[in-house]
Amino acid sequence: MYRIGIGHDTHRLEPGNGLWIGGLQIPHSQSAVGHSDADVLLHAITDAVLGAAALGDIGELFSNTDPKNKDRSSSEMLVIAFDKVRNAGWSIVNMDCIVFTEKPKILPHREHIRLHIADLLAIESSQVWLKAKTGECVGPIGEERAIAAECVVLLETTEASNKR
C-alpha cells in the first residue's frame, strides 16, 4: 500500500545572520522567525511524512507553546517524527520539495541539503529532490518578507507491517 503526504510551511523574515534550510545554515542577511530554528523545508517534510502516515502534524508533536521546543533543531524534530512513521510500518519511496525564496539562491546548496535530508531519514539522496522558486519580486516571498516550502512524499508499507 502507498500513501501520499503534503507539507507546507511559511516563516516571516527579519534582519539576521542566516537561514536554516534543510538542516543547513545558509549565509544570508535575514533569518526566519519561529519558535524552533524555523527551518521551513524540514518543517514541510515533517508534516508531509506525518500526514501521509496519518500520524498528526508538526504542531501536535512539537507545540510552539512548549519551552523545550524553543530554538529546537528541526533536524531533530524530523528524526523523531520519522521514527514514529517508520514504527507505524512505513518507508519513504521518494519526496519532491520546493523552497520559495527570492534570496538566497538554493542551487549552490542543493546537493548538501539533499545529502543531509537523506542522512537524517536513512534513505538514498536519489529519493530526495529539491528545487527552488522565486517570487519574481511579487508578494511576501518576492519582497523578501517571507520564506516558504512545500514537500510531497510517497510512503509505502514495509514488509513487516502490511496491515493498512
Give the model confidence (pLDDT) of 24-41 as tens digits. Answer: 999 999 999 998 999 999
Domains along the chain with CATH numbers = 2-157 (3.30.1330.50)
Residue 64's closest CA among 26, 22, 107, 9? 9
Whole-number Å distance between alpha carbons of 113 and 156: 23
Q: What dihedral do alpha carbons 119, 48, 130, 29 form, nearest 10°? A: -90
Order of strands across the sheet that contains 128-133: 30-32, 2-15, 146-157, 90-100, 128-133
Q: Which tens digits make up the pLDDT trace of 62-117?
A: 988 888 888 899 999 999 999 999 999 999 999 999 999 999 999 999 999 999 99
pTM of the prediction? 0.94
